[in-house]
C-alpha cells in the first residue's frame, strides 16, 4: 500500500480510485467466469436462446445508461460533484500500488465466488446476473472516474482508512518532459 501523510490520520494508505474500482470489477468478473464454468460442468450448458441472453443484454444497456447519469453533476447520483470535492494532496503519493502489481483483490474474489457459487448451485443460476451487473457497474464507475481525471489533468486517490474511506483526494499528473532538439539542447 502507498503510505501518505496528506489527508486524514498520519500514515493513511492512498489507493488510486480508478484502480480500486477496476480491482473490484476484475474480482467480480473472475468470480462470474469461475461460477459459469462450474455451473456448466454441474448443470450442463444452458440453451443459447434469447430468454437466457436477454437479461444480460438488458443489464448491460441499463448500466451503460446509468454510467451517463453517473458522470453528470446531478446531486444524488452524479459522481462529478464528489470528484470536484476532492482535496488536493500536499505531495503526490509514489506510484507503488498499481494494477500491474495487484490486478484484483483475492479476498473480494473469494467472497464473490463463495456467495455466487453457493446461491447458483443450490438456488438458481440467475444469481450470476448479479455478478454481471456488479462487474459492469464497477467498470463503468472506473471509466467515469478515468474520464474525469483525464479532463481535469489530475489523479484521484481514495483514502483507505477506517475513519474516512469515502474521502477522495487528487494530485496533478506530472507534466511531460521538455522537448529537446536533435543536439539535445532545450528549444529556444
Instruction: Give the tens place of pLDDT for each residue, 23-70.
Output: 999 999 999 999 888 888 887 777 666 677 888 899 999 999 999 999
Q: Where residue 9 falls among pLDDT bands split at 50, 70, 90?
A: very low
What pLDDT is attached to residue 188? Answer: 62
Domain range for residue 67? 2-172
Comparison of pLDDT for 81 and 173, the residue scoring more: 81
What pLDDT is attached to residue 69? Answer: 92
The answer to whether residue 178 sits within a structural domain is no
The answer to whether residue 177 sits within a structural domain is no
Per DSSP, the three-state class of 15 is: strand
The answer to whether residue 181 sits within a structural domain is no
The answer to whether residue 71 sits within a structural domain is yes
pLDDT digits (tens, 9 = 90+) for 95-125: 656 677 777 778 888 888 888 888 887 877 7
The answer to whether residue 150 sits within a structural domain is yes
Number of domains in the chain: 1
What pLDDT is attached to residue 178? Answer: 64
If we measure between CA atoms, which residue out of 167, 22, 12, 9 comes closest to residue 1? Answer: 12
The answer to whether residue 17 sits within a structural domain is yes
Who contacts 172 (Cβ-Cβ below 8 Å, separation ≥6)?
92, 153, 154, 155
Percent of the chain with pLDDT over 70: 77
Amino acid at each position: 500500500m502507498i503510505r501518505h501523510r496528506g489527508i486524514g490520520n498520519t500514515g493513511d494508505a492512498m489507493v488510486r480510485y480508478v484502480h480500486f474500482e477496476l480491482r473490484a470489477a476484475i474480482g467480480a468478473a473472475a468470480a462470474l467466469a469461475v461460477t459459469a464454468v462450474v455451473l456448466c460442468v454441474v448443470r450442463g450448458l444452458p440453451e443459447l436462446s434469447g430468454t437466457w441472453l436477454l437479461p444480460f443484454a438488458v443489464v448491460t444497456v441499463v448500466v451503460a445508461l446509468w454510467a451517463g447519469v453517473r458522470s453528470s453533476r446531478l446531486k444524488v447520483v452524479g459522481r462529478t460533484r464528489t470528484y470536484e470535492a476532492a482535496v488536493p494532496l500536499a505531495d503526490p503519493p509514489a506510484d507503488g500500488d498499481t494494477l500491474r502489481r495487484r490486478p484484483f483483490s483475492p479476498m473480494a474474489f473469494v467472497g464473490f465466488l463463495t456467495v455466487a457459487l453457493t446461491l447458483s448451485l443450490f438456488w438458481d443460476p440467475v444469481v450470476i446476473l448479479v455478478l454481471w451487473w456488479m462487474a459492469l457497474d464497477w467498470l463503468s464507475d472506473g471509466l467515469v472516474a478515468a474520464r474525469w481525471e483525464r479532463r481535469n489533468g489530475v489523479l484521484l486517490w481514495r483514502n483507505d482508512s477506517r475513519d474516512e474511506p469515502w474521502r477522495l483526494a487528487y494530485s496533478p499528473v506530472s507534466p511531460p518532459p521538455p522537448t529537446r532538439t536533435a543536439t539535445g539542447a532545450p528549444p529556444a
